[in-house]
Copies of this chain bind each other. A is one copy, B any other.
């Protein structure tokens, strides 16, 4: 798979991990609740960006391959999965 894109995604996940740890420290130090919720919102946005990057890769690899292929069932499965991901992500 695209190595540069994996590196970018890994780096973002590391950053999310550190961010979540930081929110834990904020809580322990008695930070203001509203500030904590706003930091959680920031983490959620960072995770949405990661989802988009993973999906980008998926579209350019598996989805493209399946749709260009001869297997009607594979084509259908890949599109159904895409719709499920679309729905799940919209309600995450």
Interface residues of A (CB under 8 A from B): 1, 6, 9-10, 13-14, 16-17, 20-21, 23-24, 27-28, 30, 32-34, 36-38, 40-41, 43-45, 47-48, 50-52, 54-64, 67-68, 75, 79, 81-92
Contacts and interface: CB of A to CB of B under 8 A. Distances in A.
B30 A1 contact: yes
A84 to B, nearest CB: 8
A60 B85 CA distance: 16
A60 to B, nearest CB: 6
Nearest to A14: B24
A24 B87 CA distance: 21
11 contacts: A27-B54, A33-B58, A33-B62, A34-B81, A37-B55, A55-B86, A56-B83, A59-B79, A59-B83, A60-B79, A89-B90
A52 B87 contact: yes
